[in-house]
Amino acid sequence: MFTYKGYTGQVEVDVEAGILFGEVLEIYDVVTFQGKTVEEARQEFQNSVDDYLEFCAKLGRQPDKPFSGRLPYRTNSDTHRKIFIAAKKAGKSINAWMDEVLREAADKSINTKRKPDSAEEKPTADSTEEKPNADSTEEKPIAEETKVLVEASKG
């Protein structure tokens, strides 16, 4: 992983093409990079971030900011106790349990299931990712659907 100006890039290897390639994580816009060596890929990542920031400035819009991974949450003591018990029963920390439950609820709410790829964690033996049924319509990528929801809420 590379970091630059608060952005993180995930790097992968394409052995057949003989390149390193990647994408900036945790933003809705798609920013990619590639190179033949680690140093070249790192430089191209930085160039892509700079180009992205310049492009946004030319358009007069704010660039996407990476998500911090921190989500402040306050609740009452009874709910806190229930969360603690549920996490203990699952053999997880409160944070791990809440992350799983909230991710599943968010996926269900936006009617999009996470698909394993290089930028996201692969399903584990204990994960229960549902497959879309034959009646479901083609799924939109999470970023695209989220942008639509954000734009609609600005309405």
| pLDDT < 50 regions, the chain | 117-155
For 64-93, how does the pLDDT look when each residue is reduced to its tens digit (9 = 90+)? 988 777 788 899 999 999 999 999 999 998
Residue-level pLDDT at 68 = 73
| Cβ neighbours of residue 81 closer than 8 Å, sequence gap 6 or more | none
H/E stretch holding 145 reads helix 142-154
CA angle 49, 52, 55 (to 5 degrees): 150
Residue-level pLDDT at 44 = 97
CA angle 64, 65, 69 (to 5 degrees): 130
H/E stretch holding 2 reads strand 2-4
CB–CB of 26/41 below 8 Å?
A: no
